[in-house]
Structure 1
Amino acid sequence: MRRSRALPFFALGGLLPLLAGCVVHVDSGGFSARKEQRFRVEGRPTIDLATFDGTIEVQAWDRDEVLVQVDSRASSRALLEGIDVKMSQQGRRIAVEATAPEQDGWQLRGGGISRTARVVASVPVDSEVRIRSGDGAVHVERVRGVIDARTRDGRIVMREVGGEIVADSGDGAVQMEDVDGRCTVSTRDGSVLVSGRLRGGLRASSGDGTITVRAADGSVVNGDWQIETGDGGVVLALPDVLDASLDARTSDGRISLNGFPDLPIEQEGEGRRLQAVLGNGQGRLRIRTGDGSITLKRSFVPPPPAPPAPPAPPVAPESPR
C-alpha cells in the first residue's frame, strides 16, 4: 500500500484512500482497509483464498463471476500498511492471498498489537475452491464442486454443499449440514457434525471431541466410511436402506442400539464391539472411539407439512324471483 499523510487525531472516523478500490478507515477500534475486485469466468473456476489471520467466507450465487472483498484491520497504521493483499486471475484460476510480515514485541505501552484480514467471496455454484486460514473460522454455503478448506485454529461451517469436500481444523469444531457427496472431515480438538446424503466415501475424525453423522436417504457406502475419535462419543444415524459391513468398537464405553434390535454386541474388557452386516454388506463402515460411547440409530426426517387447503369458492347470491 502507498503511504499517505497520517490523519490527525481529530479526524478519527474519516476515510483516507490508499489504492484504487482500497480505503483506510480510522475509528476507535483501530485502522481498517477494504479491497474489492470482480473477476469474469467461463465454466468452472478454480479459486484459491488464503489469509494469515482472519475469517474466510464463501457463498455461491447465480452469476458467471467471482466477487472478492478483503477487509484488513490493525491496531496501528504501520501494521495495516504491512498487510499485503494480492488478487490475480489466469484464465479460470483466481488467486487471493493476504499476508503480513512477522512482528517482534507483541506488547506496546497502552495496549497490544493485532491485525487480521477477513476474506469474503461470492462464487459460481459449480466451483473448485481452496481455502487456507492461519487463524480464523471458515464458512461455506451452496458451493457444489470441489471444496478444500483448512484452518490452523478456527471453526469450519458448511451448509448446502456438494461434490468432493475436505474440511480440516487444527483446533475447532467442524459442522457440515445438507451435504451431498464425498466428505473428509477432521479436527485435532473439537466436535464433528456431518449431515446429508453421503456418497463416495466418508472419513470423520477428531482427536478430542464427539462425532455425529446423520446419513439421509440416498446415502451409499460405495467407498469406505471411517469414523474415529480419540476421546468422545459417536452417534451414527442411518437410513432404513443401507448396505454395509459394520465394525464398531469402543475401548472404554458402551454401544447403544435404537432401531437395530437384532445386532450382536460383544464385551471386550471395559469396552464393547459390534460386527454386523447391513443389507448386502457392500462397503465397509468402521467406527472407533478410545474413550466414549457409540450410539447407532435410524435416521428420521419428518415429512414436509401438508400444503394449506385452497379457499372455498365464493357462493353466488341467489337471483331474485
Structure 2
Amino acid sequence: MEKITFEKKLEEKELIELIKNITFRGLYNESGEPLKPYKGAKFSLVRVNPPKYPTSFPEIMHIQPQPLFTAQPTIYKSQIDVLSEVDNFLKTIGKRIHTLGFEGIQYWWEGRGRFHVLPPIIEKHTYPLKNGFFDLAKIAERFKGTYVKDAKGNLHELSNITIRDYYVDGESKIKYLDIFNPNANLINYGLRFTGNSDFYIICDGSHRMDYALEHMDKPINAILVESENLLPYYALPMPFRPTTRLSSKHAEKIYPKLERDKIHLLNDFLKKVLHYNWEKGGLHVSKLRSNAKIH
C-alpha cells in the first residue's frame, strides 16, 4: 500500500487566505488579469446532516435547515475508494473526514504527490427566477466588468448576452455567440416562483460529502461561503438525489445515453471559464478536475 505522510495542518486564518487566492480559470478583469471568486467573501463552518429518507435531501444547518444542492449529481466509486484511504490516514492523526474543523490537512501520498484535505465548500447563491426559470438577462448583468478571452486573446465582456466575433482558433470565428447554454432555459424550479431564491450548492467536495452522508451515515462539517458579489456558479443547482453512481469517470463512455449530469450555465465554448483554479491558491484538492484548454 502506498504510504500517506502527514506534512502540516493549515489553521483557519491561513486556509482562508489560500481560499481567497483561488482564481477563475477563464474569467478576467478589463486588464486581462484572472479574477478571484472569493474576494470579500465571508466564511463560516456549518454542519450538513444526512437525509432521513430516500425522498429527502441533505440539510445544511444555517440559521434554519436548508436543502443542499449539487452541480454534479454523479459520484465515482474510484474517488470514494481514495477517500476511504485518506480517512484511514486521518484516523492516525486523530482526525476524520466528516469531523474536520475549519482547517486543512496537507499530506504527501507516495507515488501520487502532495494534497490537501479540507471540509467541503458550499456556496450560498441567490438567483433571480422568472416563473421558476433562471432569469438569464438579470444573471448576465452580474457579469458586468468581467471578461472572457477568445483564441486570439481578445477580451469579451460576459455581461453582453451575445458576444460578437468570438475566435475559436486563429482564423475561424463565431459572428454571434450566445453566452448561455441553450438548455439552461429548460430547467425549472417551480412555475409559481418569481424573484430571488437562495440555493446552497456544493462547490468543492461532492465526494467527501457523499462519503460521509451515504457511506458513513454521519453529519459532516463544511465551509460556507457567502458574498453579495459572488458570481453565478458554473453549473445549475441540481437535487442531491437521485445520484448516478459509476465505477470511475472512464466508465461514462460505456453509457453514451447517460443524460443526468451537470448542466453548465454557459455554452460549450465558455462552459469551463467559471471553473476555479485551486492551485493558484496553493491548494491541491482533486485529480478529477478537467485539463481542458481555456483561453
Q: TM-score range by the shorter chain?
A: under 0.3
Structure number with greater Rg is 1
Q: Which has the higher contact order (CA 8 A, sep 6+)?
A: 2
Higher strand share: 1
Normalising by structure 2, we get a TM-score of 0.22
Higher helix share: 2
- The two structures have a TM-score, normalised by structure 1, of 0.21
